[in-house]
Structure 1
Amino acid sequence: MRYANVGTGVGGAVARIAAGRLMGAERGSAAEGQLLAEALGNLKGPLMKVAQLLATIPDALPSAYAAELAQLQSQAPAMGWAFVRRRMAAELGAEWRALFADFSHEAAHAASLGQVHRARAHDGRDLACKLQYPDMDSAVEADLKQLNIIFAVQRRMSPAIDTSEIGEEIAARLREELDYFREAKHISLYREILKEHPTIHVPQVDKELSTRRLITMGWLEGRKLLEFKEHDLETRNLLARHLFEAWWMPFCGHGVIHGDPHLGNYSASLDQTGRPHGLNLLDYGCIRIFPPRFVEGVVDLYRGLLANDRARIVHAYEIWGFQGLSNELIDILNIWARFIYGPLMEDRVRAIADGVSPAEYGRKQAFTVHRALKEKGPVKVPREFVFMDRAAIGLGGVFIHLRAELNFYRLFNEALEGFTVDGVAARQKAALVAAGLTSSFPSG
C-alpha cells in the first residue's frame, strides 16, 4: 500500500509541477524540487538510495531537485520483534532461535532494504544478522517504476544528459542488492582483495546461518566515524587514509569498487587504549566489478589530465563508453573530471574541498557543466560511469566530514604502483574465483 501511495504522490507532484508551469513558474525551481521531495519523503526504501545517487550526478536532475532530494534520508523504521521472529522463521525454520546462543530483540541498525540484529553463536562468536524486509523484490520494482516518472520530469526539462543508461545501471544494481547470497560472495571477494592489509577488517560470513534474504557474519566491534569528527588531526587523517586505501586499492588492483561509500558503512576499530587503529567495512550490497579496460580508462584520464595530453584524454573517454564526443563536449567533461581528480593531481597535503566551503563542494563545477551541456549537448552517460561518479563524490563527502588533510596524490600513486591492465585482469580473475563469483562482471 505504501508504494501505491508514493506512486500517487509522485504522479501528483508531476501534475502540480506541470500546472505551475502553465501559470508561468520557473522550470526546475526550488518549489518544484520541494514538491517532488515531499512526494517521496514518506518512502523510506530503495528509492531514497536512488534519489540520493541522482543528486550527485551533474544535470541528471535539475539542481533544485537534486538539492532537495540529497537531504532525504534512507533510514527506515525498524521491524518490531514479532515481525522479526516471523521473518527469521521464514528464513531458518521454526526452531531458528535454537541456532543462536543469544539474539537481540532490538535492531542495531535499520536501513533501506533490511535491518541488522546483534547475536551470539554457541561457540561464543558475536554475530551480525542482516535481515531483509518482507516483499522487497516487489518494493524495488515499484520504486524503479517511480524512477521512470522522475526521469520523465527531467525529459520535459529539455535535458542535456541522456539518462537511459543511468536508469538501467541503477535498476541492475538495486536488484543485485536484494540477493544476499551475492553479497556474501562480495564479502569473500573483499576478504581476498584486502587479506594482506593489517588494519582494514572484513567480516567472515556464516554460511550455515545465511539465506538469500538473511546474511549472518562476524560482528566487527567499532565506533561510528563521526564520533571522531572533533578528534585531533592525526586521528582523523588515520581514518581517512584507511578509507582511501579501502576504496582505491581494490579498484586500482582488481577493478572493484564499493558503490555506496557513506559514513554508515564503516566503523573505526580501536586498539587497547581506545584509540582508532583501523577500519571496519560493514556493508557489501552495492559492489561494482568493472572490466579491466575501464580501469585503464580511469588511469589514462588521470594521467592525461596531469600531462594535458588531449589524445590520451579522448582515448580514456572512449574506453569509458562515451560516444560521438565533439571537442566542445570533451572540454565540458574535463571540467567535471578535473573536479573529481583535483585532489589526486596536486603533490601536497590538502583538504578535499581545499579553499571551498563543504556546502559549495562541486556546486560551481556542476553548474558550469549543466549550463554548457544545455548549449552543446546532449551527452549519453555510459552506465559504468554512474556508480564510479557517485562513489567518488560520496568518498569525498566522508573526507570532508572528517576534515582530513592528506597528500591524496601520493596515496593514489601508491595504489597505482605497478599498474597494468593485464595485472588487473589476472588479479581480478583469481579473486573472483576465490570468492565463488563465476561471472566477471555484474548482470544487467
Structure 2
Amino acid sequence: MSEEQDPERNRLSARIARTAKVGGNLSGAGIAFAANRLFGGAESDENIAKALTSALGKTKGPLMKVAQMLSTIPDFLPAEYAKELSQLQAHAPAMGWPFVKRRMRAELGPDWQAKFSDFGREAAHAASLGQVHRATLPDGREVACKLQYPDMSSAVESDVGQLKNLLGLFRRMDGSIDPREMVDEISDRLREELDYERERKHMQLYRDMLGGKDFVHIPEPVPELSTERLLTMEWVSGEPLGAFEDAPQEVRNGIAKRLYWTWWLPFTHYAVIHGDPHLGNYQVREGGETLNLLDFGCVRIFPPNFVGGVVDLYRAQLADDFDAAYAAYEKWGFKDLNRDLVEVLNIWAKFIYGPLLDDRVRSVADGVAPGEYGRKEAFQVRKLLKEKGPVTIPREFVFMDRAAIGLGAAYLRLRAELNYHQLFEESLEGFSEADVTARQQDALSKAGLSD
C-alpha cells in the first residue's frame, strides 16, 4: 500500500511535526546539559539526567521507550542517567473508542464487529506504541487485540534521528563507549516492533521452539484477525513475578529455573532471544508451575556463530585463558581490540558469567539489590574505558547484554538460589554451531521468518 493510500505510513508532515516536538523538548535538555558542563559541580550529572527525563517524558511514544530501554543497560549510561530515565512512565493514556473503531475498521473491514461476540470498549492495557483490548470470538475463545497507535511509523523515524543526536552528545561528552552500532541495532529493533505481522511470526517461532515444554506457555496468535497494525492472540492470565517474592524458597527457585530455560534454551539451541526483559512480560501460572511469556515485538535472531562466541568466552573464563577470551570477543564482533581493552572487557565478562562459572548453589549476585545489578562493575568498566578506550560495542551485544541483565534482576527479585553452572552446562549438552544453524533455519522457515 502506498503512502497516498495509507496516510499513516511515515507521513512527511507527521515526521516534521514529531521532530519539531521532540527536538524542542531535547533542546531544553541540551541547554541544561551545556550549562551543567560549564558551571555544574558535584550534582552535574544528576541535573542533566533530570533535564533529559523531563524532556523525554513529554514526547511519549518510541523515544520514551528507547530511553527506558537504555536505562536497563548498566554498562551504557551513568547511574544518575539510568535512575532518572527508569522513572519514565511506559503507560501512555489510552486512545478512545472513536480511534478503536477507525483502527479496527481499517484493519478488518466495515463488518469487523461481526467477527467478535464481544469487544471491550476500554483498553485493558495501554503502553508507548499501542493498546490492548479484551474480546471474545464467536466460538467462545477469549482474545487480546493489540492496536497500534496512529502515526507510529512517523514517530519512530523522527525519534530515531533524535536518538542519534542524543547518543552522539553522550559519546562526545563521555568518551568511554562508541555507541554508533548500538544506535543502529536499537533503531532496527524499534522499527521491527511496529510490524505486528512480524511479531505474530515471532510468537509462532517461540511456539515452535518451546512447544511441548511444561515450564512455559506462549499465547496462540489468531492469524485471520491480525495485520501489520493489529495483533489478535489468545488471552492469557497469570500473576506477576512480584507476587511470589515472599513465597517459599522452593517455589521461588522453581520459577527462576523456568525463567532460565525460557530464555536460554532458544538462545543456545536456536540463536534467538526475547530481547525485552521487563518483568511485566512474564506471568506466573498454577502457583509457580509454569509461566506465560508475553510481548514478542523485540526478538533478536542472531547469526549462530555469535552463540559460538558466547560459549567460547564462557569456556575461556572457566579456563582463565586470556588469548581464548580475546578471540571470543573478536568472534562477537568487537573491533580494534588490544590487550588493555580486553582486560577491561573481562571485568564485565567475569561479572556476567560469574554465576555460570561457580559450581555451587548461590544467588545470582550476593548482597546486590535488583535495581543495582551490574552498576558497580559498569562504573568500573566505564572509568577504565575513558582511559584506555573507547570501545565500539557490536550490534549483537546490545540485546544479549540487556536480556541477561533483565534476567539477573528477576533472579534477585525472587532471591533465587540455584546452581547456575550446572544449568548452563546442561543447556550446552551436545552444542555445536552446525546444529544451531540447522535448527534455526528450520524454525525460521516454519514461522515464515526465513526471508
TM bin, normalised by shorter chain, reads over 0.9
Q: Which one-letter code corresponds to 2:334 in the other structure?
A: F
The correspondence of residues 38-437 of structure 1 with structure 2, limited to 5 A, is 38-58=54-74, 60-270=76-286, 275-437=287-449
Give RMSD over aligned pairs: 1.7
Question: 3-state DSSP class of the match of 2:221?
Answer: coil
Between the aligned residues of both structures, percent identity stands at 58
Distance in 1 between residues matched to 2:170 and 2:44, nearest whole Å? 9
Question: 3-state DSSP class of the match of 1:157?
Answer: helix
Q: Which one-letter code corresponds to 2:304 in the other structure?
A: P
Q: Which one-letter code corresponds to 1:52 in the other structure?
A: Q
TM-score normalized by structure 1?
A: 0.94
Residues 175 and 386, structure 2, Cα contact 8 Å, conserved in 1: yes
Residue 442 of structure 1 corresponds to none
Distance in 2 between residues matched to 1:74 and 1:146, nearest whole Å? 19
Structure 2 residue ranges without an equivalent (≥5): 1-16
Residue 17 of structure 1 corresponds to 33
Residues 78 and 379, structure 2, Cα contact 8 Å, conserved in 1: no
Residues 258 and 286, structure 1, Cα contact 8 Å, conserved in 2: yes
Distance in 1 between residues matched to 2:86 and 2:222, nearest whole Å? 35
Distance 1:60 1:28, change over 3 A: farther
Post-superposition shift, 1:361? 2.3
Question: 3-state DSSP class of the match of 1:167?
Answer: helix
Post-superposition shift, 1:200? 1.0
Distance in 2 between residues matched to 1:175 and 1:396, nearest whole Å? 27
Post-superposition shift, 1:78? 1.5
TM-score normalized by structure 2?
A: 0.92
Count residues with an aligned counterpart: 435
Post-superposition shift, 1:25? 4.4
Distance in 2 between residues matched to 1:146 and 1:260, nearest whole Å? 22
Distance 1:27 1:384, change over 3 A: farther
Post-superposition shift, 1:58? 4.8
* Greater mean alpha carbon deviation, residues 78-87 or residues 111-120: 78-87
Per-residue Cα deviation, 1:363-382 (whole angstroms, up to 9, x for no partner) = 21011101100000011110
Distance 1:375 1:420, change over 3 A: same
Distance 1:434 1:28, change over 3 A: farther
Post-superposition shift, 1:257? 0.2
Per-residue Cα deviation, 1:279-321 (whole angstroms, up to 9, x for no partner) = 1111110000001100000001011101101222111101111
Question: 3-state DSSP class of the match of 1:29?
Answer: helix
Distance in 2 between residues matched to 1:389 and 1:59, nearest whole Å? 9
Question: 3-state DSSP class of the match of 2:173?
Answer: coil
Distance in 1 between residues matched to 2:249 and 2:61, nearest whole Å? 36
Post-superposition shift, 1:433? 0.8
Per-residue Cα deviation, 1:189-215 (whole angstroms, up to 9, x for no partner) = 111101131231112211110000001
Distance 1:424 1:89, change over 3 A: same
Distance 1:229 1:43, change over 3 A: farther
Residues 179 and 212, structure 1, Cα contact 8 Å, conserved in 2: yes
Structure 1 residue ranges without an equivalent (≥5): 440-444
Distance 1:264 1:323, change over 3 A: same
Question: 3-state DSSP class of the match of 1:317?
Answer: helix
Post-superposition shift, 1:405? 1.7
